[in-house]
Amino acid sequence: MCLESVFIAQKIVEELSSFIAYTNHFLNYSKVLMIGYGIFGRSVVKKLSGYKCDITVYDTDELIRDAAENEGYHTIKEIQSEDFYDHQIIIAMTGNKSFGLKELKRYIDSDADEILLSSGSSKDIEYKDILNLIQDPSDSGLEFILEETGSFYEKYSVSNGERSKYIYIIANGMPVNFIRKNVISLTDKMVDLIFAEMAM
């Protein structure tokens, strides 16, 4: 896991930086909310530190939050309206549904006007609730309008009838390191090292 997380994190950050550029945003110096500080989330945060990102870590596990704090990162135990910032990049890496209707409503109530949602998980479940709401927003009290479609992103306006905000969904909520065709996430030589580590 030590070797694999480093290689995966490198690819996630590379692809995310590339995809964000299509939205006319940039990764360097950005505010980032990392959802999940497990082995892979932690490795991504380490890579992002080289991009001079302002990182906040959200994890439901107190011990993991303590570990992130001991490593110098600001942590939160729940996502509140005050935790959103304009042009903020949100990276979900829990392997579970981690950003849904509750978080979206808190974002709408925040001072931020647009955020970017991305996933570094190996599953496509992190933003499943949001994607389902876009298809069928009934009973949510929200309205979604597709404002823009570009390479590897969609931009939506989301309104609760009183306030309207923007969300960019990067790579349709899929893991950014798996979305591009003919792009290798891990080379054979990387996999050889990982298997060697496992064997040891």
Q: Is the Cβ–Cβ distance between 167 and 159 less than 8 Å?
A: no
Strand ranges of the sheet holding 114-119, from the earlier edge strand across to the other edge: 74-76, 54-58, 31-35, 88-92, 114-119, 164-170, 153-159, 143-150
pLDDT value of residue 188? 76
Quick one: residue 95, left, alpha or beta (phi over 0 = left, psi -120 to 50 = alpha)?
left
Q: Is the Cβ–Cβ distance between 116 and 170 less than 8 Å?
A: yes
* Residue 63 pLDDT grade (very low, low, confident, very high; cuts 50, 70, 90): very high
Q: What is the set of domains in the chain, with CATH numbers? A: 2-199 (3.40.50.720)
pLDDT value of residue 180? 81
Q: Is the pLDDT of residue 197 over 80?
A: no
* Residue 179 pLDDT grade (very low, low, confident, very high; cuts 50, 70, 90): confident
CA distance 29 to 80: 22
The predicted model scores a pTM of 0.90
pLDDT, tens digit (0-9, with 9 covering 90-100), for 121-160:
877 899 999 999 999 999 899 999 999 999 999 999 999 9
pLDDT, tens digit (0-9, with 9 covering 90-100), for 27-40:
999 999 999 999 99
